[in-house]
Every structure is written in structure tokens, then in C-alpha cells.
Structure 1
Amino acid sequence: MTRPPLSPTPRSTLNREKQRAVYDRSELDAVLDGGLICHLGVVLDGAPVVLPTGYGRDGDTLYLHGSSGARSLRGADQVCVTVTLVDGVVYARSVFNHSMNYRSAVVHGQVRRVEEPAEKLHGLRVLTEHLSPGSWDHARQPSKRELAATAVLALDLTESSVKMRSGAPGDDEEDVTANLAWAGVLPIVTTWGAPVPASDLPIPAHVTNR
């Protein structure tokens, strides 16, 4: 079934560099699935707080988690979640036109605290499999005490925006003519290193195949 494109709201409409907006939901999925850490923005005691946290996506729902005792999660209502993937540093002939090639997603909405046991386990599985695929079935499942100590939040992805930049620097014509500085892109490539075991146990396939 074809999913409808992203429909900007007043909060999710880009006001600058509007040409970089992307409305294909598959691009939203790709950004969220490609990151490991999101930044969760909440208002706490009248002041903004932004926290790095793990997350996982299941369809059009984003699951987040943290300590059940954290004030930032207990008081979370309307939130903003961002994920950014940096693909390169853009060197221009002028300092003003230096930039980055990137893909970013911003999600607005009201979070829902997950209380139903089966969905809470499902949300934690989604989170675990996003960070370390294969681990949910390989490692011990959460105990009752661990579940009680963990808060799981669900956020609908309906109110989202995606913004991207790619390609060469956008130099002014006079700077290109003067050609006083090097211009181009320095790509950023993230790679996985070799696993470092915590014991003499052999490294399982779900780790080595990451």
C-alpha cells in the first residue's frame, strides 16, 4: 500500500532553505533507521531540555526509552525529536558558503507513555533491535524489576519534516572566478570496527554481521 507523503503543519514547515525539504515518507524512514541516537526536546519547569537517547521505529511509531524515575520523561507531553546524519563537510571558496551535506528528520507530537505490558515489551524489542540487531533473541529478556525501572514512550510520526543537503559548495560567481581557496566536499563515512569480546566466548553471527 502506498503511504501518503508528509504533510507539513505550521510546526513542521521549513522556513529557510525550503528547497531542501523532502516529503517522501521513505526518506523519513531512511533517516530514522540510519541513526542510533536521537535528541529529545521537552519543556521542564518552563525551560527547554534536550536529551540524547536511544530509539527505534516500528512503522509510523517511534519508541523512546529511559529511566522511569527521570523527571524529563515523567513530565514529557509535547516533544520534539531530531535525528541528523552528517555525510560530509562542504568547503567553499568563502567562509560564508561553507556547509555540510546532511540528512535530518524532525518529529513533533504528543508522546504516549506505554503502560500495557505486551506493547512495552514490543517497544523495548524495537529499540534493542534498532541498536543491536539479533540481541533480543540472544540475550536475557527484561525482568519485572527492570521493566518497572524503564519508561517507554511512543511518538506518532505524522507531524514530521525531512531536510537534506548534498552536492558541491554553492559559491558566489566572483569567488569562483577569483579561485582563492580550495572548494569541494570532504565525505564522512561511518564504519563498524572489529568486535571486542567481554570474555573468551566466540563472537556470534548477529554481532559479526552488523
Structure 2
Amino acid sequence: MGLQQIHHDGCRDGKQGDGYNADAYYHQGEMAEEERDFTKAESCYRKALKVYERQGDEDGIFYTCFHLGRIAEEQGKSAEMEEFYEKVLMIDESWNGEERKAVRCWMRGMDAEKDKDFVRAEELYADALEIYTNQGNGEDAADICCYLARLAEKKREFGKAESWYAKALAVYEKQGDEEETADINYSLRRIAERQKRDKEGV
């Protein structure tokens, strides 16, 4: 999982009020998500979101809803995923932060992919990847590489898929992320099998 940068300073103006509590829940959610404890992560993010919404904190709402959407996606809860992503896209378009641009490209890429507009999806994912790469954000860049790899698989562009997976794999191996590494190695074996069957005309 990406987006691990700290978006809130945890204790604003030295006061441990609502802002502090929301940020604490947010960071607990990040840690649980990183450990793939999605039940705990969702609970923490929802607590944070409740406070951010009460405060009208659009920055907090933006990132928390994005994380909740990612968790819903991991759990196959498509309706919840779309609900949270829609909230993110409704946040003021005038925000110009590069990372927010990357998030929007990422989500719009997923929408385009769902609509089977693979050309547009690839363009949007590539835009997000460029931003993350320029920021030196290797983890989110690796996540985007996986999206590009899966998209290439759908298009039966297996060589391209292998290339994208290899780029992501290098990051996950460097981080010692055994689960993501195992997932990618499984995907690479699956691609190799598909290519073998294609050559054999099976």
C-alpha cells in the first residue's frame, strides 16, 4: 500500500484536540493498512473521517477517503469503493498539490479501466506514475506499476506486463515486502504459463 507520507502534523498548534485525535486515528489506520489488517485500518480511518468531516478538513477527508476506497477495493466491496472515491473526486478541483493530482489520475484511471477504455486508463496511470517518480515516492510508483501491469495483461501485452511487474518487484524486494513480492512472482509465473499455452496453441 502506498500514500505513506504524513499528511497531517498530528498535533496542530501544540493542542491535543479533535485535530490531534483525528490524525492519531489516521496514522493508526496507515499502520494497520500496511500490515494488511484491513478491519482495524477501516475502523481507524472511519473514526478519523468522522472528525475531519465535522471540522470541514478537506485535506483529511481527501486522503482518508482515498485510503478507505483502497481498503474496500482490496476486500472486493465495489459499491463502498466507488462511494469513497466519489467523495475524493468531489473535493475542490482547484487544489493543485502534485500528490493530489496523482491520486485523481489514479482513480480516474481505475474508472476508465472499469469502462474498458484501456487507452485512457493507461494514460492516466502513466500520469500518476510520472508524478510519484518525480517525487521520489517509490512505494506508490510501484503500486501504479502493478496497475499498469494488470492492464497490459488484459490487453494481452504480456511483455509489457512483465516489464511493469519487474519494476514494481524491484521496489518491493528492496523494502522487504514479502507479501507483495510473492504476489508479483505469482503473476509473473501466470504470465509465463499463458505465453507458453499461446505458443503451443492451447
- State the TM bucket, normalised to the shorter chain: under 0.3
Q: Which has the higher strand share?
A: 1
Higher helix share: 2
Larger radius of gyration: 1
Q: TM-score when scaled to structure 1?
A: 0.22
Q: Quick one: higher RCO (CA 8 Å, sep 6+), 1 or 2?
A: 1
Give the TM-score normalised by structure 2. 0.22
